Every structure is written in C-alpha cells, then in structure tokens.
Amino acid sequence: MHLYSIHITWSEEDQCFTAAVPELVGCSVVGSTHEAALAAIHPAIDAWVESANAAGHPIPEPEGTASTRKKGRGGRRQERIEKRRRQREESRRQRRESD
C-alpha cells in the first residue's frame, strides 16, 4: 500500500476519470470508472518508483509523513491560538453564570 495522495477527477473532455499522484510528476492514469482509475494508479506508482530508482533519481516522500510535515513555529502558534480561544470561552461562560 502506498502513502501517496491520489487525486481522482472527471475529465469532461475525455469522458473518463483521471487519477494522479501530485508528488510523483507525470504519474497519472485514466479509467472509465472511479474504481478503475483507483485500481490502475497503484501499479503506475510502482512503475514510477521502479523507473526512478533505475535512473538514480530521488523518490519524493509522500505528503503528510513525519519528515515532510510542517515543523517549527506553525504548530506552537496554533496551540497558543487554541489556548487563548479556550480561555476566552471560559471567561465568557463564567460571566454568563455570574449574571
């Protein structure tokens, strides 16, 4: 099983579904149904990775894995925002109860 994100869209022009892997440039397939496109993309991912390995090209990591996830201040900032929001809600609740 692959951890790469798969985007499946309907092509009005071609009247078929297209499945693509954004992390793997050029890795896409078409299928007459959503399920057919999804089933066809997995062997395409294997073939893409195999040919990239054979050519000595780097293999991109899937989006959302621990090494590609945004690190640093973004997460701490979000935690501070959530903490302030909870504090505001708590103070509003207390004011309503005291009235």
| pLDDT, tens digit, 9 for 90 and up, residues 1-57 | 678 999 999 988 889 999 999 999 999 999 999 999 999 999 999 999 999 999 999
**Quick one: 48 and 11 in the same domain?**
yes
**31 lies in some domain:** yes
Give the CB-side neighbour count of residue 51, counting CA atoms within 13 A: 10
Provide the pLDDT confidence category of residue 96 given band limits of 50, 70 and 90.
Answer: confident
pTM over 0.75, yes/no: no
Q: Which residues contact 14 (CB under 8 A, 6 or more apart)?
A: 30
Q: Which residues contact 46 (CB under 8 A, 6 or more apart)?
A: none
CA 14 vs CA 11, 18, 32, 41, 89: distances in Å:
5, 9, 10, 18, 52
Rounded distance between C-alpha atoms, residue 30 and residue 64, angstroms: 25
Query: What's residue 21's pLDDT?
Result: 93
User: Tell me: the pLDDT tens digits for 74-87?
Assistant: 667 778 888 898 99
**30 lies in some domain:** yes
Structural domains of the chain, count: 2
Parent domain of 11: 7-55
Distance, C-alpha 38 to centroid of its chain: 16
∠ CA 30-32-33, nearest 5°, is 100
